[in-house]
Structure 1
Amino acid sequence: MSAPTATRPRGRHALTLSCLQALGGVNPAIVIALGGLAGQQLASRPDLATVPVSIYSLGLAFGTIPAALVMKRLGRRTGYLIGTLFGIAAGLVAAYGIFSQAFLIFCLGTLCSGLYAAYVQSYRFAAADAADPAYRTRAISWVMVGGLFGAIIAAQAIILTRNIWPAIPYAASFMAQASIALLAVPLVLSLRTPPTSVREEAVKGGRPLKEIARSPRFVIAVLAGVISYGLMNFIMTATPLAMIGCGHSLQDATLGIQWHILAMYGPSFFTGHIIERFGKIPVTTFGLILIGLAATVALAGVSVSHFWLALVLLGMGWNFGFIGATSMVTDCYRPEEKNRVQALNDFLVFGCVAVASFSSGHVLATQGWNSVNVLVYPFLAFVLLSLLWLWSHDRRARATA
């Protein structure tokens, strides 16, 4: 018997979340593409150039738990409206920071961008929670498809606005960021969150969070999410500055980030089907291997084609690794435990992403582009061995059963 229409990943709920993901995806794309370049012209020292992008990651990390608490108390729709207001403020404050040549104000704007992203990141869980278990992975993928359109919108916004005010480059792009966040308001107001299930209303509390956090499956799922997102961010944050440093143009760097973000979200059209066919652990493993290949290509040369190919592989690796890891997390909690477990997962993932982002600029400035890529390998090896152990454990459990 087919699943009810309301729970299918292609239903109205998932479609609305996908559109919100498209608009919300513009926010990080603009910050990542221009944050380091704007920081370079505002900061007092070269090694501070990527701090605005790192502040974005910090806001995302520290915003996840408050966002979860707000949504638990007030509902997802009200929470998403609050998040959208952060998005509008982010673009306006960042643009004002550039106008006034104030590095700290610009960083405050990227902090607001991170707080907005903390709500955007939960769209994937909102889709999974509304779908039947058999459709959860596909629901996550379909929502992530929205990020593909976010990348296109962001790239075009940058290209169309970058020369509006030549004396103050990048300010108009952040004004566009605020305008695009404003467009999300009517979509949020139209969102109809599915009602709480009878089981979720009947069961209070669930297991202690410490018990869930000690589960090997949860630990490895979080580890896979941390490494796939953290390493992607570590390389991506440094790439625009590395390209400029190697003599390439701003347009080449911007287009490279566009190709990267397209590669991040484009596979989402079929990632869910691939996971259903081959399994969550193999697909997550494949994603991490692609990230390793991206680092290898980056080490092979510094031409535009090397940078672009590395960014494409990096984006694809993130897609398979992060969606696979997210799907693994959804297997670790019961309905009554979802808010706490999702918040813990995102706090751990994006907290580590913030550390990676802060480290990226420092490593690039002090040790160079090659060191940024070499540091990827030991982290990948550790998580790949962990996934291999979990896959072997699951095979033995199935054989015993």
Structure 2
Amino acid sequence: MTHPHDATADSKIDMTTSASPSQEQESEEQPVSPAAAAASVAQAATKSLIAKSDNEEPPVPPHWKTNVFLLILAWFLGYTVQFTHIAGTVAIAKEMAGDYLATLPNGLIFIGGLLSTMPLSYIGERYGLRVSYVVGTGAGLIGATLCLLAMKYWSFSLLCLGLLFQGTQQATTQLVRFGVRSVCPPKYVSRALSWVVAGAAVAAPIGPQITRAAVWLVPDSKYLGIYIILECIIFAMTLTVMGLRIPANIATTSLSESAVTEVNAPLESRSSIVRRVFSSKKYLIAVVSGLVSYMIMVLMMAPAPIAITNAGFTFSDQANVIMAHVLGMFAPSIFTGYLIDKFGSVRMNIIGIAILTLSIAILFAGEHLPVFYVGETLVGIGWNFSFVAASTTIAQGAKPGRELQTVQSVNDTTIQVISAIIVLVSGPLYRTINWVPLAILGVAIIGLTVATILAIMRLPIRGLVHDVHGLKGYKREEKDTEK
């Protein structure tokens, strides 16, 4: 005997079973739009790529150890050229054109770098990093040749033109450190970067020593030997970057990041990134601190060779003072990162500005050789602490990729513009107001900086986030008023 409920259940099962083929047929015949199909395929591919990239380690770039070594060597050679210019070119230009124009050639180095940074970046993106580096060092060879002719015929105009080309070579040196990210496995990037930057500390004593030793290398032509050696160094840098073996299609972003960006949303405009990132007190304070530390360093360093020689000291004395200053700038980099991790970037920024203030106070003591040694060395150390701490805040806070590159380019371009202006005016300024009033101007800039930072802290915008092991940030929230 069959229960009525069982019969009903059986009929439902039969109806369901009989209906399923027709439903499947209808679903198969239902059209799917091309846009929906493309989106579905793209999302499935993205999920597959992300899962694969998360589960597997990224491939190791070929020849990465050789490439990193060559980048370290290129950075070292490039900074040797830069330190030689810092130690010798101002004094040489002073003999050629007087105090008012003594800093003009070194200012043209900054202008040349400013004009060539973007074209070199485009060449690197379009044709590869090696081509970009070779173009930059090739311009440096042209500049060194013009400087040779300037010494041969004692022409200030040729010297200025040559150093404008040298600016392209210096811009190439700055781009070398970014090449580490493209040739090195991700887990070794920070270590490789530290070794690259440390090369500047090794180059610091070499540049001034070249200036001292090569003054009369060519007996019949004073200073010609300096630029002969510089041309050899730049040629060695050219051979070094030509030895790089970097794949032309090497990626600069991770697989998952590029896939998600391509499928989900359009790229954020650079102007929008700048407005968003720099609406934070943290970034504003970091940019102001880094910029002012660079301003003080350039203001007290650029006219220093003029002040030292005008005080009656020798060409070798001013080269040694600049060597001490440059060592103060880069030698602390060996442990600055550790100090930032321990005390926080905010505290290190404050310590750096305090050391800069102390250095200027020492330079108030007068134009004596020990005063120049101690004061200029402390200027370098204060710059290192403040500038590196500010750069760390910017680099760690921005997201890797387009945002980080945009923030860094805005920050570096601002610094290059201000540095070029200060180098160009520091010679006439020193000649007009002399050394001690110039130091007073530095104190005024620091005072204005402190006032600016305090004003930023009181702005009703996003607060300065808590810094690791550092000071608690200031945060001011706008209160909503009900009417």
Which residue of the partner structure matches residue 312 of structure 1? 377
Q: CA deviation at 1:140?
A: 4.4
Q: Give TM-score, length-normalised by structure 2.
A: 0.74
Residues 277 and 185 (structure 1), Cα distance of their counterparts in 2 relative to 1, 3 Å cut: same
Which residue of the partner structure matches residue 254 of structure 1? 319
Which residue of the partner structure matches residue 210 of structure 1? 271
Match of 2:208 among 143, 155, 174: 155
Match status 1:368 vs 2:425 = no
Asked if the contact 1:37/1:49 (under 8 Å) is kept, the reply is yes
Q: CA deviation at 1:132?
A: 8.5
Match status 1:145 vs 2:210 = no
Residues 192 and 220 (structure 1), Cα distance of their counterparts in 2 relative to 1, 3 Å cut: farther
Bigger radius of gyration: 2
SS at 2:268's partner residue? Answer: coil
Structure 1 counterpart of 2:124, which letter?
M
For residues 2-401 of structure 1, what are the structure 2 equivalents within 5 Å? 14-43=68-97, 45-127=98-180, 140-192=193-245, 195-196=251-252, 197-199=254-256, 201-202=258-259, 203=261, 206-214=267-275, 215=278, 216=280, 217-330=282-395, 331-384=397-450, 393-395=464-466
Residues 12 and 226 (structure 1), Cα distance of their counterparts in 2 relative to 1, 3 Å cut: farther
Deviation track 1:10-32 (CA, whole Å, cap 9, x = no partner) reads 96655433322210101221211
Larger mean Cα displacement after TM superposition, 58-67 or 20-29: 58-67
Consecutive unaligned residues in structure 1, runs of 5 or more: none
Query: Higher helix share goes to which structure?
Result: 1
Residues 14 and 270 (structure 1), Cα distance of their counterparts in 2 relative to 1, 3 Å cut: farther
Larger mean Cα displacement after TM superposition, 179-188 or 305-314: 179-188
Higher relative contact order (CA 8 A, sep 6+): 1
Distance 1:131 1:373 in 2: 43
Q: CA deviation at 1:95?
A: 1.7
Structure 2 counterpart of 1:119, which letter?
T
Consecutive unaligned residues in structure 2, runs of 5 or more: 1-56, 467-471, 477-483
Q: CA deviation at 1:251?
A: 0.7
Asked if the contact 1:222/1:349 (under 8 Å) is kept, the reply is no
Larger mean Cα displacement after TM superposition, 183-192 or 245-254: 183-192
Q: CA deviation at 1:49?
A: 1.7
SS at 1:380's partner residue? Answer: helix
Residues 310 and 325 (structure 1), Cα distance of their counterparts in 2 relative to 1, 3 Å cut: same
Distance 1:47 1:108 in 2: 18
Structure 1 counterpart of 2:428, which letter?
H
Distance 2:305 2:257 in 1: 46
Asked if the contact 2:60/2:185 (under 8 Å) is kept, the reply is no
Asked if the contact 1:24/1:117 (under 8 Å) is kept, the reply is yes
Structure 1 counterpart of 2:239, which letter?
P
Deviation track 1:370-391 (CA, whole Å, cap 9, x = no partner) reads 1221111233234445667669
SS at 1:169's partner residue? Answer: coil
Which residue of the partner structure matches residue 28 of structure 2? none
Asked if the contact 2:79/2:200 (under 8 Å) is kept, the reply is yes
Residues 377 and 332 (structure 1), Cα distance of their counterparts in 2 relative to 1, 3 Å cut: farther
Structure 1 counterpart of 2:103, which letter?
T
Residues 230 and 149 (structure 1), Cα distance of their counterparts in 2 relative to 1, 3 Å cut: same
Q: Give TM-score, length-normalised by structure 1.
A: 0.87
Residues 306 and 359 (structure 1), Cα distance of their counterparts in 2 relative to 1, 3 Å cut: same
Larger mean Cα displacement after TM superposition, 128-137 or 105-114: 128-137
Larger mean Cα displacement after TM superposition, 340-349 or 174-183: 340-349
Q: CA deviation at 1:87?
A: 2.2
Residues 234 and 176 (structure 1), Cα distance of their counterparts in 2 relative to 1, 3 Å cut: same
Deviation track 1:340-371 (CA, whole Å, cap 9, x = no partner) reads 44332221111110011112111101110112
Distance 1:95 1:49 in 2: 18
Deviation track 1:201-255 (CA, whole Å, cap 9, x = no partner) reads 4336742222232313444333333222222112111001100001111110011
Structure 2 counterpart of 1:26, which letter?
T
